[in-house]
Amino acid sequence: MKRPTVLACLAGAAMAGLAGIIGATTWSDRHAGVVLPEPALTQERIARGAYLARLGDCAACHSVPGKAPFSGGLWMETPIGAIFTSNITPDRRHGIGNYSLGDFDRALRYGVAAGHTLYPAMPYSAYSITRPEDVAALYAYFRQGVQPDPTPNRAGEIPFPLSMRWPLTVWRWLYAPVPQPFGAPPGMDAKLARGAYLVQGLGHCGDCHTARGPGLQVRALGPAGGTAYLAGAMIDGWHAPSLRNGGRATIGTWSEAEIAQFLRSGANRHGSAFASMSEVIVNSTRYMTEDDAMAAARFLKSLNDKPDGAAYRYDPATGLALRGGDARARGARLYLDNCAACHRPDGKGYERVFPPLAGNPVVAAAPAESLIRIVLAGTQSPRTPENPAQFAMPAFAWRLSDKEVADVVTFVRASWGNQAPPVEARAVGKLRRTNVPDAPP
């Protein structure tokens, strides 16, 4: 008789503990944030909010081609299933038309909306440092500068019990910072402080360029978190390169002006944006003022690392060999047949048209996934006012075998002074199976 009684007591205690956690998280979600006075929705504030919404790249997640801006519905894969982004137009039934400024602030900086914690696909950990005047400007824009749209929100495709929301609150307690408006450290110059605020906050650059921890949390939200911040990460099968100033596979050789040029146009003499960064350029950073782009560049250049080897030095030997008809190196013949017309035998490409491969951080990075995927599936340069012509690299998945792709990528990574490890056919095959469509475009 004792064993069932003990088991019943243990089960009761477990249920009581679970109920306590759920109750605590529910209370926390409902009471997160602070009550804020409603701002005046002036045209100046609305315009400011429109600019800040661009910097935060809100459209990238909350707008879907062919549908009303900010009406949500973007499909996003997570480790536990798919979710769909929400309607953030001022529609009163399906959007955020009934939100007060306090409600908006709770969603933006605390990650809490409608009484529950949001999925951390919403980068509220980065947005947590947004200043009150900028929160108010964003609120004014989404209340008066965006057209309401009655698109209903789509339920996620996460199976029960993983679909329960209360564990997200526990995640927020463990990993999200307590929201605190950004304040520059004493003595920091105004331009550097502005860049730090933009990059760490609304720009949320760390969400892609900083590695994740075991709880899928961003390992560092700013320089105070250590050298993991903006040191590069794998995301959606791509390698987002380091944005730190130092080492060979970084932007260490880029000047502040070249970084700003890349942010505003999508290209500079060192390379061109690709994959999701192209979308970031087109939807967000191309709208930066010149001053803000230079401020962001100054902050990135302040993230100094110790050199991880000798500085890159161009080696003309490969170009001379190819021009002299020597194609004995692994992948050299394939490079001449498929790549040299655009990227040239000397690997220097054509500035802001076909990016250089010599000394390119993407080429030199230890993870080769991005380079392999570009060869397999092709890519397009972003179209911006400063770069109105759009150039495309064709997909070679239907022309080259796994071994041939591995050979040409290895050649590129070992030529013109690049010193990156070789690539094997099995790595190409894995990416081909998971990232290349069944038929050519």
pLDDT tens, position by position, 83-113: 999 999 999 999 999 999 999 999 999 999 9
Backbone φ, ψ for residue 272 (5° rounding): -135, 150
pLDDT of residue 21: 57
Q: Are residues 263 and 345 in the same domain?
A: no
Give the pLDDT score at 6. Answer: 47
Whether residue 91 is contained in a domain is answered as yes
Confidence category of residue 288, pLDDT binned at 50, 70, 90: very high
Is position 221 within any domain?
A: yes
Look at residue 1 and tell me if it is in a domain. Answer: no
SS3 category, 401: coil
The domain of 259 spans 190-301
Extract the annotated binding site: 58, 61-62, 205, 208-209, 339, 342-343
Pair (284, 329) in one structural domain: no
134 assigned to some structural domain: yes
Which pLDDT belongs to residue 224?
A: 94
Domain-located, residue 310: no
Cα of 136 vs its chain's centroid, Å: 25
Domain finish residue from 124, 150, 175: 175
Query: Are 49 and 167 part of one and the same domain?
Result: yes
Q: Which residue has the tokens 């095959």?
A: 429
Q: Are residues 152 and 206 in the same domain?
A: no
Given 301, 330, 364, which residue is the final one in a domain? 301
Provide the pLDDT for residue 36: 84
Do 345 and 200 share a structural domain?
A: no
Mark whether 134 and 230 lie in a shared domain.
Answer: no
348 and 226 part of one domain: no
- Does 139 share its domain with 49? yes
Would you say 45 and 143 are in contact if contact means Cβ atoms under 8 Å apart? Answer: no
- How many domains does the chain contain in total? 3
Query: Known binding site for heme c: residues?
Result: 58, 61-62, 205, 208-209, 339, 342-343
Asked, for residue 184, whether it belongs to a domain, the answer is: no
pLDDT tens profile 293-318: 999 999 999 998 877 667 788 999 99
Residue 182 belongs to a domain: no
Neighbours of 35 (CB within 10 A): 9
Based on the fold, state whether residues 170 and 36 are members of the same structural domain: yes
For residue 183, tell me if it sits in a domain. no
Q: What is the pLDDT of residue 439?
A: 64
More confident residue, 78 or 139: 139
Looking at the fold, whether 158 and 31 belong to one and the same domain comes out as yes
pLDDT of 191 above 60: yes
**Which CATH number is 339's domain given?**
1.10.760.10
Which pLDDT tens digit goes with each residue over 55-72?
Answer: 999 999 999 999 999 999
Whether residue 266 sits in one domain with residue 237:
yes
Strand (E) positions, 79-230?
A: 81-84, 112-113, 116-117
β-partners of residue 78 are 81
Average pLDDT rounded to a whole number, residues 116-136: 95
Task: Please indicate, yes or no, whether residues 221 and 287 belong to a single structural domain of this protein.
Answer: yes
State the greatest distance between any 2 C-alpha atoms of the chain, in Å, as a whole number. Answer: 91
Q: Could you say which of 125, 141, 175 is where a domain stops?
A: 175
pLDDT the model gives residue 233: 93
Per residue in 308-350, pLDDT tens? 667 788 999 999 999 999 999 999 999 999 999 999 999 999 9
pLDDT band at residue 395 using 50, 70 and 90 as cut-offs: very high
| Average pLDDT, integer, range 130-158 | 95
Distance CA 214, CA 23 (A): 26
